[in-house]
Amino acid sequence: MRHKLTAVAVAAITAAGTGTFAAVTANAAPASGHHSAASGTEHVVLVTTNPNGNPHALFTGPLKSAGLDREHNNYGEAVLPGGTFRIGHPGGKYRQKVVKSTCTVIGTVTGKYTLSHGTGDYAGIKGHGKYVATVSGLLKKKANGSCNLKTKTPADFSETIVASGPITLAN
């Protein structure tokens, strides 16, 4: 789910076209990371301050785990202790605002995701849900003090993705 903050700005959101994101399982997981068959609602928060980095993912529902979200062309890959799974996030509705007086860019992507292709403890994972990704950044300024709307890397960057939805883990 990484979007571009348009030519205006930079790499950004993980849960749409080329964005970032993740979500997952159900009954409380043992400390070992091994899961039995489960279903329920998982809530996920992904955060990064690097427009080219892998967001940290925190699963605060029954999965009770943390890891990374690696982005590929049109999907993300949740990498957690015990295995991985794919997060499909095609499309998404993107909105962006540039505050030219401060060179601040704020973007929001809303969309839907699906979970599949689990490995290890996540073999057989299935799920879907909705996400909201928020990106903000400070654009670099030109020598004349105006905002450089064509920069590919912002001076400062922050991305947060919040997602939730039902899942089934058939392990």
Give the integer Cα–Cα distance in Å for 104 and 119. 40
Q: Determine, yes or no, domain membership for 37.
A: no
- Looking at the 3D structure of the chain, how many domains does it have? 1
If DSSP codes are grouped into helix, strand and coil, which group holds residue 65? strand
- Is residue 43 included in any domain, yes or no? no
Instruction: Answer whether residue 131 is part of any domain.
Output: yes
**Given pLDDT bands bounded at 50, 70 and 90, which one contains residue 69?**
very high
Poorest-confidence range of 9-13, 104-108, 119-123, 164-168?
9-13
Separation CA 103–CA 151 (nearest Å): 11
Least confident of 23-32, 49-58, 75-84, 138-147: 23-32
What span, in angstroms and rounded, lies between the C-alpha atoms of 16 and 143? 34
The parent domain of residue 99 ranges over 1-30+56-171
pLDDT in tens, 15-62: 333 333 333 322 233 334 445 567 889 899 999 998 888 899 998 776
Domain-embedded: residue 51? no
Q: Per-residue pLDDT averaged across 104-108, rounded?
A: 95
- pLDDT over 70, % of the chain: 77
pLDDT at 3 over 60: no
Residue 130 lies in a domain: yes
Instruction: Show Cβ contacts of residue 30 under 8 Å, excluding neighbours closer than 6 positions.
Output: none
In a domain, 74, yes or no: yes
Query: CA-to-CA distance for 95 and 97, rounded, in angstroms?
Result: 7
Q: What's the chain's Rg over C-alpha atoms?
A: 17
What's this model's pTM, rounded to 2 decimal places? Answer: 0.75
- How many whole angstroms separate alpha carbon 165 and alpha carbon 23? 7
Strand locations in the chain (E): 38-48, 56-59, 65-71, 75-80, 83-88, 93-99, 104-116, 126-138, 156-169
Q: Does 1 map to a domain?
A: yes
